[in-house]
Structure 1
Amino acid sequence: MITPLPIGDFRFIALDVETACGDSASICQIGLACVRADHSIETWSTLVDPQMPFAPFNIDLHGIGPHTVRHAPNFAGIWPDLLPLLARRPLVQHSRFDEHAINAACRAHGLPRSKLAWNNSVTIARAAWPELRGKGGHGLGNLKTVLNLDFRHHDAEEDARAAAQVVLRAEQHLGASAAEIAPVLAPFQLSLPL
């Protein structure tokens, strides 16, 4: 059983996953950061039993192992609850890894691939801070330093919140809404006053 999902009207939801091994389908944690019109962020996360072996590298990276997910539901047990929330809002990921992992997990569990509106906070960060190219880049680790973000890297809930903060900071920096910065968000009418 997962903790209750956030409810309300959100502008967008940032999503991040952690995986157990090199297989993209091996999701062991899902984190969300739901952004409201007033720019407040409500976070949520759950552990997931990947039903695959954990690689030592991944355990060292995020600290999640077989003992951590022992009583957690698998992806197929979580996805039907998550999908209605995610399908109604634009999603933000930091890189394309999270979208690939969700699609791989759907395939691995025999679930239909969902049509979700994904955007990439890396793309948004590149539009806002092009000067970072070649100077540490637009990864969350470098943006943490440059934007003075406070989060614990490689925790899905924390990384989702950081991706949401990157979008909000880019909106503020450029004086434009996320929909204007990243056209895939436009169908969701995110052009809100800053």
Structure 2
Amino acid sequence: MDFVSLDFETANYKRNSACSIALTVVRQNRIVDEFYSLINPQAPFKRRNIQIHGITPEDVANAPTFAELWPHISPLFAPNKLIVAHNATFDCSVLKNTLSSYDIVNPTFLVLDTLKTSRSYFKNFENHKLNTVCDQLKIQLHNHHNALDDSLACANILLYQLQKFGAADISKFIKSFK
């Protein structure tokens, strides 16, 4: 299966305040590339968000805006491309709201949420947070809330599920996102 795992961190509680992004590219069930960038959200940071991910305004002062970054990553979000995220509702909302804040047309693509697949496949887990699922499946997650580590962990969760349950069963979770 080919897909791109996505993770955002935000500067504050607003869904248009992306301050980092990571993408993990999977081709034929193998991780083949990774992308990470800080993003200047052009928005204020909340202390709670900084406590969660450790990114400060000083860290992003010279980082590109999302509008500057988008031309480089937008080909990954084409109509037949599969984007995977753990809690895809959050990450897709950040993408949509951030694009909207720059008057960039939101792309249509396929999306799969490993939070939902984990809830379906692993009903006995205490919860289905990214770190819990990784612990239970023995998937490494070195720095939770680092977008690259989270994106890589999400990709590995889906790869585990593909191996255990098969692509045909997992395909029922794929939805179109617009």
TM-score by length of structure 1 reads: 0.83
Match of 2:50 among 36, 56, 59: 59
Match of 1:89 among 81, 86, 89: 81
Is 1:11 aligned with 2:23?
no
Match of 2:129 among 139, 146, 151: 139
Q: Structure 1 stretches of 5 or more lacking a match?
A: 1-9, 188-194
Match of 1:181 among 145, 170, 176: 170
Aligned residue type for 1:91: I
| 1:62-141 → structure 2 map (5 Å cutoff) | 62-87=53-78, 88-95=80-87, 96-132=89-125, 135=126, 137-141=127-131
1: CA distance, partners of 2:135 / 2:29: 25
Give aligned pairs, total: 173
Aligned residue type for 2:170: I
Is 1:24 aligned with 2:2?
no
Deviation at 1:37, TM superposition (A): 0.9
Report sequence identity in percent.
29
Q: Structure 2 stretches of 5 or more lacking a match?
A: none
Q: Contact between 1:127 and 1:181, CA under 8 Å: does it hold in 2?
A: no
List structure 1 segments (4+ residues) > 6 angstroms apart after TM superposition.
none
Aligned residue type for 1:69: V
1: CA distance, partners of 2:92 / 2:103: 17
Q: Contact between 2:4 and 2:76, CA under 8 Å: does it hold in 1?
A: no
TM-score by length of structure 2 reads: 0.90
1: CA distance, partners of 2:2 / 2:149: 19
1: CA distance, partners of 2:155 / 2:38: 20
Is 1:48 aligned with 2:39?
yes
Deviation at 1:18, TM superposition (A): 0.3
Task: Check 1:38–1:169 CA distance in 2 against 1; reply closer, same or farther (3 A cut).
Answer: closer
Q: Contact between 1:13 and 1:90, CA under 8 Å: does it hold in 2?
A: yes
Aligned residue type for 2:86: H
Which residue of structure 2 lines up, in the alignment, with residue 33 of structure 1?
24
Task: Tell me how large the CA RMSD over aligned residues is.
Answer: 1.8
1:67 match: secondary structure: helix
1:154 match: secondary structure: coil
